[in-house]
Structure 1
């Protein structure tokens, strides 16, 4: 038996090998580097099957079957799902490793907090539905073509993906639920701020109204304005009415990138600027600056976005930047310095910033000289 033929598995089972031992090993450092490189790539490519496994977990309705506190064996779950018992046992073994389910001493499965978050109708359930939808998957699959062409290949020259979203009847409402969940943390943090000198808050591109509703509920003296395109504005109007806020909110149906912006003491753009190129954003920001200049003193823009990290560091912002590349012409995540330059191009000064839940950042800006 030689080391070259038989010792690799044994050495790998021992875990990472210190650099000093690599030099003394019968394998040279280049081979060890190759092994570790392969492991790193395998870890990255494993993300695809983990996503598909979560999709299968939802499709099999396992979160609903287990509920809040039920514990069932894999066989019982298979029976309810009308699935193969042996494959279900293997599947749940993997989902346990992923942290989606837990097991008790009798081998019965229950939901972890992660599994609970995948209950039907939840924000993460909707997020999974959006991300695994044909539109989102095709956009990712065509990323190489997008890079070659310089614009999202899936759009065929269209300005935004929203017309494609509306073609799939369930995708638009599911996207609202996804974005509502994504907005909940930042919305709560913004609602906790001081509004004593504020009378009106405008949310441009405010989706289904989650953010604005959270702020208005916390501050009964405020009135709100929500601007959205027609299909989303209708759903926002219904949601705000259901929450008893209809009398305090004006819902305006309009493209927010038209060069008109309603006047308000606080104008919010949340997860909006990353959808567009710099030139289009400057047009919007100039309209906002004009509206702020004609509002009450100390009117401000509150911009909420996910920032790109420093070079060489991976965060969710890195992944989101590639998704924007695949779906939005000119859409991109930006660094804080890039946002500061974008605001300055529109005559706005960045005067304050802070971290928000969900890896978001609040950037507060005011017109030059304010």
Structure 2
């Protein structure tokens, strides 16, 4: 390629496809394919730089430098952050394009609702803290070794990252906030459903109680059960007490894959099955089935997961599957038929599937 060729702007797809140019130029189709391929690769690799930019936004303290309705010039923000003015101007220009910042009529910068979530303790700040932590980054960097060995290469022999999280209280706290933020929208959707036929709702592996708290708050006639690992259960008990739900929730510190669940006429298993392999999940589902049978013939199991799409299509489940591969021994996303088969092996009948926001699906099952 000559210097002149490198300096020429790439033609647009419209330029190549308009007025029969592909037919006239035998090389046009190949050039079009090269352009679209390059754009696809750039989109995939660009996610790495966007992640770094968001972390930098937090590191520089830009979210804290702006009140909700406050606007500042680029130079003012550079001075506050003790940054180079020209570099800061370029960085703010990029964060405006990414929707983190907005501008007023004079071109001064302020926070968007997305930018506000990047404050310390906010949902996205915690998410980035987890995703950019050494544990998560090493898991991604070692994906090739994981694929070759068949086990997550970064867990030091552990089956899941949870023991490593328990040993790092700071990271564990960010992980709780991260999971809570992911659950908030789902909690609002599920709590809007009809719970008139239920009395007790059990959330297996319910984290900090975000989902169960939303359901109990929306439906005062319900009582709740939440089963979690001991380190999480202690934090959950404190959080639910702050919401005035202590008398309505039984918190059990235990292993949902081994310990029996008390009888409950609604059991929720949300974003749990994708963490483990089929044998472990069959133990959990078998325990759930026993609890449902003791509760009565109309008891239901609600499974919430992000199913894989049909081959060749992309969804959030594709990226999650790679994440599960890198961080959970046996963890994987599954297709809807695979979930149905898993439930059937546990003698549970899938009676309904409800699409939810964020590529999630609610799978409702009953004992056979």
TM-score, normalised by the number of residues in structure 2:
0.95
Is the CA contact 2:16–2:28 (under 8 Å) kept in the aligned structure 1? Answer: no
Is the CA contact 1:126–1:174 (under 8 Å) kept in the aligned structure 2? Answer: yes
Is the CA contact 2:212–2:224 (under 8 Å) kept in the aligned structure 1? Answer: yes
- What pairs up with 1:1-370 in 2 under 5 angstroms? 5-6=4-5, 9-12=8-11, 17-18=16-17, 20-25=20-25, 27-368=27-368
- Could you tell me how far apart the structure 1 residues matched to 2:364 and 2:216 are? 19
Runs of 5+ unmatched residues, structure 1: none
Aligned length: 367
Is the CA contact 2:316–2:358 (under 8 Å) kept in the aligned structure 1? Answer: no
Is the CA contact 1:230–1:254 (under 8 Å) kept in the aligned structure 2? Answer: yes
- Could you tell me how far apart the structure 2 residues matched to 1:314 and 1:336 are? 15
Residue deviations 1:258-302 (CA, integer Å, cap 9, x gap): 052221010111110010001110111011111111113301101
- Could you tell me how far apart the structure 2 residues matched to 1:318 and 1:11 are? 31
- Could you tell me how far apart the structure 2 residues matched to 1:11 and 1:334 are? 40
* Offset at residue 120 of structure 1 (A): 2.4
- Could you tell me how far apart the structure 2 residues matched to 1:326 and 1:199 are? 39
- Could you tell me how far apart the structure 1 residues matched to 2:124 and 2:242 are? 23
Is the CA contact 1:185–1:356 (under 8 Å) kept in the aligned structure 2? Answer: no
- Could you tell me how far apart the structure 2 residues matched to 1:147 and 1:3 are? 41
TM-score, normalised by the number of residues in structure 1:
0.94
Residue deviations 1:308-358 (CA, integer Å, cap 9, x gap): 111111111111110010000111111111110100010000011212233
- Could you tell me how far apart the structure 1 residues matched to 2:270 and 2:107 are? 45
Is the CA contact 1:68–1:111 (under 8 Å) kept in the aligned structure 2? Answer: yes
- Name whichever of 48-57 and 168-177 sits farther off: 168-177
Runs of 5+ unmatched residues, structure 2: none
- Could you tell me how far apart the structure 2 residues matched to 1:130 and 1:318 are? 20
Residue deviations 1:209-257 (CA, integer Å, cap 9, x gap): 1111111111111111100001100010001111111111111000110
Is the CA contact 1:259–1:283 (under 8 Å) kept in the aligned structure 2? Answer: no
- Could you tell me how far apart the structure 2 residues matched to 1:38 and 1:196 are? 54
Is the CA contact 2:289–2:367 (under 8 Å) kept in the aligned structure 1? Answer: yes
- Could you tell me how far apart the structure 2 residues matched to 1:75 and 1:64 are? 16
